[in-house]
Amino acid sequence: MRIAIPVDESGKVVSMFGSAPAFLIVDTEKGEKETVPNLNSCGGCSVGCSGGKSPADLLAENNVDVLLIEKLPKEPFMKLARRGIVVYQLPTDVKSADEAVELFKKKELKVLYLPAS
């Protein structure tokens, strides 16, 4: 399984999606981690992406199965859903990607069936 987590330049978990500086992708089967820069970000997904690649497309191209994030607006949620990427909600106090992955593995995260408004 490939899990994506939005992170800043130092690897700290951030609550942004469209404007996140990067995504840490963790392959739970291989035990590998890779940071994928969000270079094509248009600065957010509330109005759609006109000048760059959608972060949802970026994650799909990297074969991501799951996104772990604090909250997500409707538009990117729908883009991820159309690409078959399941979104799980992180608690607001999670700052480390390792902690986020552990919570996921322990099945302590909720699936976001409805996008944040």
CATH architecture of 2-40+52-113: 2-Layer Sandwich (3.30)
- Alpha-carbon distance of 50 to 77, in angstroms, equals 17
pLDDT(49) > 90: no
The percentage of residues in the chain with a pLDDT greater than 90, rounded to a whole number, is: 72
Q: Which of 74-78, 97-101, 112-116 has the lowest mean pLDDT?
A: 112-116
Within 10 angstroms of residue 106's Cβ, the number of other Cβ atoms is 8
The position carrying tokens 């949802």 is 56
Six token digits for residue 17: 């999606």
SS3 77: helix
Q: What's at 97, amino acid-wise?
A: A
pLDDT(48) > 70: no
* Domain segments of the chain as ranges: 2-40+52-113
What pLDDT score does 12 carry?
A: 94
Q: What's at 13, amino acid-wise?
A: V
- Alpha-carbon distance of 10 to 57, in angstroms, equals 23
Strand partners, 12: 96
Q: 20-37: per-residue pLDDT in tens?
A: 999 999 999 999 999 999
